[in-house]
Structures are given as structure tokens and as C-alpha cells.
Amino acid sequence: MLLDGAQRRWLIGTALAAVIATAAYVPYATGRLNGPSGGSWPGLTFGVVGFALMLYAGALGARRKVPTWRVGRATTWMKGHLWLGLFSYLLILYHAGFAWGGSLTLALMVLFTIVIASGIYGVILQQFMPRLMMDRLPLETVYEQIDAIVGQLRGEADALVGSVAGPLPVAELTPPDHRRGGGGLAPGEALTRGPRPRSAAVLPPPSEATPLRDAYVREIRTYLSLDVPRNRRLGRRRERDALFAHLRTMLPTPFHEALDELNAICEERRQLALQKRMHHWLHGWLLVHAPLSMALLLLAAVHAIISIRY
């Protein structure tokens, strides 16, 4: 979520609530005989309100699971999750009197701190990562489909090189027609613009395409696999252009169009690899934030019951 002018009301509201909470906490903490304590009435109040806000923040996950629920707009929920979740941390700190306490409370505070920190980290990433992806990834696609599309790209490349350089000496050749009939395509329907049909009469004999075939099998095809090492030189645009420029000098002109297409496939592959990495950066914190939030809510509930009992 982008922190823009639309958040101003939430920001002001949260700041105001924080000031009020602090104004209540300071005289309580300084004036109480034994210092602030979670078991005192003010401490309990901070704890109850803080826990309620934590529950609200945690309910965002449920709200997302059932988007059809008419319980407010998703953006409002997200803003509440963000600001009230942050405010709840302050309240819980006031509840605890800035002390770690025993094992359970220590675990709670550590979990809460990680959850809040990961959430803030996620918000910060949200401020620039999407824009960065938009700039750097013109061929961005659906994250979950990246592997499928990489398979398609490899099939296209196999077909392309096979059509100009003859059969490829590889064990598993991706069938050229192995394309998904997803999206708007009917099952079995080919892409509107697939690899161009080439006339064997126009092209020079495959023996002259040996450098292309060798380069493809040795380097380019590996780059089009699912798991691409980061340090592959085809992943760096300048080195990739240099490779293709070199191949261009070695191959007759009729092969140059195929070379350009192969270069475009490699570029798409590079962007997909980058998109995957950036997606992991952008959403990876959720693997920490969401599970630990669940654990936090469970332990907080137990803590509340046990503390009231003792």
C-alpha cells in the first residue's frame, strides 16, 4: 500500500491516539508505587485495547480470504491493519511497561517486534518496488505463471533454432507445439504470433548454422531453463548483446532474424528471472509476517487468560 495523501487521516488519527495513550501512560508510570505493571488497571486497559487492535489487524487475513464479505472496503481494512497494528505495538509496550517479563511475555514481545518490523519493512518495499518493477519489467507477467512461461519460451527457442539449424543434439527437446492454451486461447490453439514459418529454400544449409546451434545448446538453452544461476552472462544485457553480436558476425544474414528472436526470448527470460527475484523481495516478508502473526495471536490469547487468572 502506497503511503500517500489518502493516509493522512489515518496518520493523524493514529498520532493523536498515541499522544493520548502517552499522556495517560506517563503519569501512571511515574506515579505508581511499583512502577508500571501489566496487572494494574491502567496496564490491563492498555493490554486489552492493544490486544483488540491486534485481533483487528489479524482479521485482515480472514477478510482477504473472503473478499465478498461486506465488512468495509479492502483499502480501509488495509489502512486499519497498517495504522492500528502499529498503534497496538505502542499500547502493548505501555501495557508491559517496557519490560520483557518472563518466558511467555518475552516470546510475545519478540514475536510482536518481528511482526511489526516485518510489516514496516513490507510497507517500505511497497513504496518503491512496484514502480521499480514497472520500469524494469515491461514483460512482467503473473508471478505464479513465470515457470510455465519459461517453459513456453524454451519450447519456442528450441523450435526456432531447430528450424534454422536442424535437429538439436539434446536429450529432451521441448516439443515446439507444446504451448499452453491458457488465457484467451482455446485448448490447442497457438499464439497469434509464434515463431515465423521459415522456408527451407531461403535459408542456407544447416551446416552454416553450426555456430548458432553450438551456442544455443552450450549456453542459451541452459539459460532458458527453470533454474537460472544469477551469474550467467546471458543475464547481463551487455554481455548478452556482445554474444549475439559475435554470432551475427559468424552467421550468414538469413540467420540474423532468428538471432534477434532468440535474443528477445533471452531478454524475456531475464525479465522473468528478475521479476521472480523482485517478487520474492516484495512479498517474501509475508512468509515471516503472516505466520508469526498467527502464533502471536495464539500466545497473546493464552497470556491474557493466564495473566488474569494469576
Partner 1 sequence: MADSRYTTKVRAKRIELSYFRRSHPFRRWRLILSIAAPVIAGGWLVGYAAFGDSRLYTSGPVATAHTMFGTRCADCHGPASGTEEKPGAREAFFVRVSDDACTACHRGPTHHETQTFSPACATCHVEHKGHVVLATLDDTHCTQCHRDLKTKPGDKPMFETRITGFTGTHPEFAVKVGDRRVRLDRTTEVKDTANIQLNHQKHLKVGLKGLEQLRDLRGANIVTQTAKGLQLSCSFCHETDPSRAMIQPVSYAKHCGPACHELDFDGRFQGVAAPHDTPTIVHAFLRTLLIETFEQCQSAGAAGGAAPGANKLRAQCSDLGLAAKTEAPAGGAPAASQPDGEEGRSRRMLRRGAAETKEEEAPAPAEQPRGRRLLRGGAAEEAPQAETKATGRSPLTWASGEITGIENILFKQKCQFCHVKSDETKGPLPQYLPTRIPVRWLPHSVFNHGVHRPIQCLECHKASTSTQTSDVLLPLASVCRECHRAVRGARTGCVECHVYHDKSQETDLNGRRTIRQLADHPTSMNQKR
- Residue 239 or 260: the one with the smaller Cβ distance to partner 1 is 260
Half-sphere exposure (CA, 13 Å, Cβ side) for 87?
Answer: 27
**C-beta separation of 296 from 104 below 8 A:** no
CB of 145 to partner 1, least distance (A): 5
Which residues would be at the binding site for partner 1 (CB under 8 A)?
33-34, 37-39, 61, 99-105, 107, 138-139, 141-145, 148-149, 152, 180, 182-185, 191-193, 260-261, 263-265, 267-268, 271, 279-280, 283, 286-287, 290-292, 294-295, 297-299, 302-303, 306-310
CB of 171 to partner 1, least distance (A): 26
- Residue 14 or 220: the one with the smaller Cβ distance to partner 1 is 220
Give CA angle at 140 (139, 144), nearest 5°: 135
Q: What length is written for the chain?
A: 310
CB of 98 to partner 1, least distance (A): 13
**C-beta separation of 252 from 210 below 8 A:** no
Q: How would DSSP label each residue in 282-307? A: HHHTHHHHHHHHHHHHHHHHHHHHHH
**C-beta separation of 243 from 233 below 8 A:** yes
- Residue 57 or 87: the one with the smaller Cβ distance to partner 1 is 57
Return the amino acid letter for 23: A
Cell numbers 484467451 correspond to: 184
- Residue 87 or 115: the one with the smaller Cβ distance to partner 1 is 115
CA 96 from chain centre, in angstroms, equals: 34
CB of 136 to partner 1, least distance (A): 13
Report how far residue 255's alpha carbon sits from residue 252's, in angstroms, rounded to the nearest whole number: 6
* Residue 254, Cβ density class (10 Å: 0-12 exposed, 13-18 middle, ≥19 buried): middle
Closest CA to 163 of 207, 195, 125: 195
CB of 99 to partner 1, least distance (A): 7
CB of 267 to partner 1, least distance (A): 5
- Residue 38 or 80: the one with the smaller Cβ distance to partner 1 is 38
List the alpha helices (DSSP H) in the chain. 8-31, 41-65, 74-96, 103-136, 146-165, 210-215, 221-223, 237-250, 256-284, 286-309
- Residue 167 or 182: the one with the smaller Cβ distance to partner 1 is 182
CB of 169 to partner 1, least distance (A): 26
* Residue 1, Cβ density class (10 Å: 0-12 exposed, 13-18 middle, ≥19 buried): middle
- Residue 229 or 291: the one with the smaller Cβ distance to partner 1 is 291
CB of 141 to partner 1, least distance (A): 7
